[in-house]
């Protein structure tokens, strides 16, 4: 018989998978960040915009699905984070609104602002969205200022279960260096993935050369941030949960999680190797263009491992530094067993949805984008 604990862990696995896919799909944002850095001519900039413009809906849809999955499976997190840290989520959504508007209107007749104004909006989205998302995820390890009224959890008439006690609506996260470093790591990773995707998707020698140069600097920035984040993460005290559900601080908690969950350790190492291999092969072999298909899956595996570090093995995935016992765990923040069971049945269609997306992705990318194609087809 399927247990309640299994369902909670199964849905954290799906959350981790969605998180990994979201970070991979941030290559759209990373590509947009390179519009002016790598695109030196109008044609080159238009090629980048056309390349990312074919995929931007996938990133936004995955972000919405990620939030929706949290709402359905761990509603207390949704109400606490989305209701308390509202400024962070509002800013993330605003950057995506600017992105959508920019794609739709930059080439329309009567555009008074001009193409470059909308491209600046795309560039801002390319930098700010990954930075903000990464900073928000960083709080999974450092904590946030909220309290939970546990007596209200079982009271259907209670208007408020959790309360945000910070004064800045989630912007307090930037006061913790680890969170900002985590955000910068995700931003540089998105730019790396954006460069790799554009190299694979666009046929233009001059642009490919500039993209490879951009890849060196963005990958260097990513490695610096990765070392800083991992050094702190593996040696910091973490938020452990005992058998009675009480939260306490444990030295080297996340290092212990890695060592006690060898599957997660292998996932992280495999992801790191694939990510680095995609970048190194692209840089070392001028004709190699498929780096995104090494670094992309590597990103998914590594991000999944990071989410599992935060939630599995008796760990509070959304800790509170205002009240330690208000920290959210898989056990105290999930939906009912009935709800999780129904959603688990529905989740069985996920492989078919993924296959559908993969099929049409291949259809769209079966040919590289060229300058000649810009003259023949509608541009973004």
The answer to whether residue 295 sits within a structural domain is no
Say if residue 164's pLDDT is above 80.
yes
The answer to whether residue 299 sits within a structural domain is no
Pick the residue with more confidence: 276 or 159?
276
User: Tell me, what's the pLDDT at 2?
Assistant: 87
Mean pLDDT of the chain: 90
Say if residue 223's pLDDT is above 90.
yes
The answer to whether residue 253 sits within a structural domain is no
User: Tell me, what's the pLDDT at 350?
Assistant: 82
User: Tell me, what's the pLDDT at 226?
Assistant: 96
Span of 126-135, 139-148, 355-364 with lowest mean pLDDT? 355-364
Q: Considering its fold, how many domains does the chain have in total?
A: 1
pLDDT digits (tens, 9 = 90+) for 356-368: 778 878 777 777 7
Q: For the residues 143-161, what does the mean pLDDT come to?
A: 71
- Model confidence at 270, pLDDT cuts 50, 70, 90, reads very high
The answer to whether residue 65 sits within a structural domain is yes
Domain of 55?
4-235+337-376
Q: For the residues 118-144, what does the mean pLDDT come to?
A: 94
pLDDT digits (tens, 9 = 90+) for 232-252: 999 999 999 998 889 999 999
The answer to whether residue 154 sits within a structural domain is yes
Residues of the chain with pLDDT > 70, as a percent, come to 94
pLDDT digits (tens, 9 = 90+) for 54-108: 888 888 888 988 988 899 999 999 889 988 888 999 999 999 999 988 888 877 7
The answer to whether residue 57 sits within a structural domain is yes
The answer to whether residue 330 sits within a structural domain is no
Say if residue 375's pLDDT is above 70.
no
Answer whether 316's CB lies under 8 Å from 142's CB. Answer: no
pLDDT digits (tens, 9 = 90+) for 288-309: 999 999 999 999 999 999 999 9
- Model confidence at 222, pLDDT cuts 50, 70, 90, reads very high
The answer to whether residue 151 sits within a structural domain is yes
User: Tell me, what's the pLDDT at 380?
Assistant: 66
């Amino acid at each position: 018989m399927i247990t309640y604990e299994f369902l909670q862990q199964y849905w954290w696995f799906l959350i981790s998978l969605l998180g990994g896919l979201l970070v991979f799909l941030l290559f759209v944002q990373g590509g947009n960040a390179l519009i002016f850095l790598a695109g030196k001519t109008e044609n080159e900039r238009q090629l980048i915009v056309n390349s990312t413009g074919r995929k931007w809906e996938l990133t936004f849809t995955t972000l919405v699905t990620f939030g929706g999955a949290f709402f359905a499976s761990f509603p207390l997190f949704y109400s606490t984070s989305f209701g308390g840290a509202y400024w962070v989520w509002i800013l993330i959504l605003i950057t995506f609104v600017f992105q959508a508007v920019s794609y739709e209107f930059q080439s329309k007749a009567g555009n008074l602002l001009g193409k470059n104004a909308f491209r600046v909006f795309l560039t801002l989205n390319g930098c700010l969205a990954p930075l903000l998302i990464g900073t928000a995820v960083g709080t999974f390890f450092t904590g946030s200022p909220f309290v939970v009224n546990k007596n209200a959890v079982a009271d259907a008439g209670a208007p408020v279960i959790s309360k945000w006690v910070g004064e800045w609506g989630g912007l307090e996260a930037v006061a913790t260096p680890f969170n900002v470093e985590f955000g910068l790591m995700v931003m540089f990773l998105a730019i790396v993935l954006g460069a790799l995707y554009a190299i694979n998707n666009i046929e233009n020698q001059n642009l490919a050369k500039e993209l490879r140069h951009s890849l060196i600097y963005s990958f260097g920035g990513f490695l610096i941030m990765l070392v800083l984040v991992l050094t702190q993460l593996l040696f910091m005290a973490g938020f452990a949960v005992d058998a009675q559900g009480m939260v306490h601080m444990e030295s080297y908690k996340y290092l212990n999680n890695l060592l006690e969950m060898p599957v997660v350790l292998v996932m992280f190492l495999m992801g790191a190797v694939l990510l680095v291999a995609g970048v190194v092969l692209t840089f070392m072999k001028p004709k190699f263009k498929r780096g995104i298909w090494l670094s992309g899956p590597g990103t998914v595996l590594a991000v999944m491992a990071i989410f599992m570090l935060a939630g599995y093995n008796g760990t509070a995935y959304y800790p509170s530094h205002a009240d330690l016992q208000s920290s959210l765990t898989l056990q105290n923040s999930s939906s009912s067993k009935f709800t999780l069971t129904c959603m688990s049945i529905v989740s069985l269609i996920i492989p078919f949805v993924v296959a559908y997306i993969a099929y049409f992705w291949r259809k769209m990318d079966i040919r590289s984008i060229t300058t000649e194609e810009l003259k023949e087809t509608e541009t973004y």
